[in-house]
Amino acid sequence: MILHELISLDLLRLVWWLLLGVLLTGFALTDGFDMGVGALLPFVARTDTERRIAINTIGPVWEGNQVWFILGGGAIFAAWPPLYAVSFSGFYLAMFLVLAALILRPVGFKYRSKRESAAWRSGWDWALFVGGAVPALLFGVAVGNVLQGVPFHLTNALMPIYEGGALGKLFGLLNPFGLLAGVVSLSMLLMHGAAWLGLKAEGPVAARARRFGTVAGIVAAAGYALAGLWLAFGIEGYRITSDVPANGPSNPLYSTVERGGSWLMAYADRPWIALAPLCAFLGIAMAVRGLRAGREVTTFLWSKLAIVGIVSSVGLTMFPFILPSSSAPDSSLTVWDASSSQTTLFVMLVATAIFMPLILAYTAWVYKVLWGKVTEEDVTGSGHSY
């Protein structure tokens, strides 16, 4: 028996669906607080020294955190080619805005302190704000649109056709539910960034971050609850009405999909997935409580739990769908019919088993070395600070 045949195709598909969720959650947990700090920068820091303190809490780690974003994109490209083709073409302008905003971050970090000019530094501070707030908002908008279904269809040759012009695609994403999901994403990461500043900064910066983080957490909880009610009563779900062999070919057109009912019917079929939203609400509540009480490490951990709950609730609710089609439901992409080949998934799994522990070990080592608060003396007395 060939080695890769030791693991069945259906199991490999399920494993890579889980790994994709892990990578995207890892991105939200790590680069999420970077973006949250950037989006909070104009509000928690009033002097140049205070802004430098906030920036230097994330300066040494943001590049490593962004690796999770690259890994997630690479996993989509290699493990789920149809998903990559449809989402990156349909969301092209939105992705362009995200990448443009993310490009502002390294430039802002590197150039901000090159000149003493207040106007120069203020301009780069706003660039860091855009680099944090815009991706945090648009990632949520994208998730909101995925839950509603994306207007695409597949030809008989499996060529994806996305309906609407370039600007129509962009402005079509900015619908009410998509914007609500964006608000949930932004407020969630603002809370996470505030928890990080409470852990790594001190004085006025940490105190202001806790106040803003408390408000952001309340907004995140309210928005998440409203989104759940909207999904229950205002947005149709998707369901497969034909037999789909989990070991079958990667051809979405082999299955029959219908719209109707609610996404939340998944909780009746798989009651255990209710743990995800419970973790989300519990994490937000305890993070807000910790921010108000001035706790540090536990607040940051509770914030992480909230993010895990929110992100995982989306994937678990939609399973087995990964990108439903609103205009041609039979073209919807699912875990069972939109993957790469068995050999590709197996080789990728072996590579992941080798390199993922190395990435985690290096990341843990970096955070251990850089543990501790950023003080005013650190940023004014060191030539290596931003």
The torsion region of residue 261 among left (phi > 0), alpha (psi -120 to 50) and beta comes to: left
* In the chain, domain spans: 15-233+339-376
> Using omega within 30 degrees of 0 as the cis cutoff, is the peptide bond preceding 320 cis?
yes
In which residue are the tokens 């940490």 written? 206
Report the predicted TM-score, pTM, of the whole model to 2 decimal places.
Answer: 0.92
Report in angstroms the alpha-carbon separations of 86 from 149, 162, 326, 332, 356: 12, 7, 13, 10, 27
The token pair at 245 is: 């062999």
pLDDT (tens digit, 0 to 9) for every residue of the chain, 386 residues total? 455 567 888 999 999 999 999 999 999 999 999 999 999 999 999 898 999 999 999 988 888 888 888 888 888 889 999 998 888 877 888 888 999 999 988 898 888 888 888 899 899 999 999 999 999 999 999 999 999 998 888 888 888 888 766 565 677 788 999 999 999 999 999 999 999 999 999 889 999 999 999 999 999 999 999 999 999 998 999 999 888 777 778 888 888 889 988 899 999 999 999 999 999 999 999 999 999 998 999 999 999 999 999 999 999 999 999 999 988 999 999 999 899 999 999 999 999 999 889 988 988 898 888 888 888 887 777 665 67
**Which long-range contacts link 182-185 to residues 24+ away (Cβ below 8 Å)?**
182/137, 182/138, 182/139, 182/140, 182/141, 182/144, 183/137, 183/140, 183/219, 183/223, 184/140, 184/220, 184/223, 184/224, 184/227, 184/310, 185/136, 185/137, 185/139, 185/140, 185/141, 185/143
pLDDT digits (tens, 9 = 90+) for 28-84: 999 999 999 999 999 999 898 999 999 999 988 888 888 888 888 888 889 999 998
Interhelix angle 176-200/297-318, rounded to 10 degrees, is: 150
